[in-house]
Amino acid sequence: MIIERWEFKIKPGYLEEAKNLILSMDWGRPYRLLESEVGELYRLTSYIEFESLSEMEQTWNGIGSTPEYEGFLKKWRSLINSTERTLWRSIETPS
């Protein structure tokens, strides 16, 4: 399993708009969206699970080819200071 983690540093004063914009999109699969509560503020982090890298690539190719995504990116870029993307592989742990 691959877990794709995106961390977004949002411009001060734009957190609500950024959350609403992410939530308005159909990402085609379940995801978790977290908001920073303590520490560095104005951060959103999302986690999306995929069975494989090829599934992840196929999903993003599908989303990226839509007019909705182009509109999303145009608005999104004006709301963020930076983005970090990491890919994680789940490790089975004993019960």
Q: Is 93 exposed, middle or buried (0-12, 13-18, 19+ CB in 10 A)?
A: exposed
Q: What is the pLDDT of residue 37?
A: 87
Supply the pTM of this predicted model: 0.84
Residues 71, 83: Cα–Cα separation, whole Å? 18
One of 3.40.980.10, 3.40.50.10860, 3.30.70.100, 3.60.40.10 is the CATH number of 2-89, namely 3.30.70.100
The dihedral built from the CA positions of residue 35, 22, 7 and 10, taken in this order, carries a sign that is negative
> So where are the chain's domains?
2-89
pLDDT band at 14 (very low <50, low <70, confident <90, very high): very high
Residue 43 has what pLDDT?
96
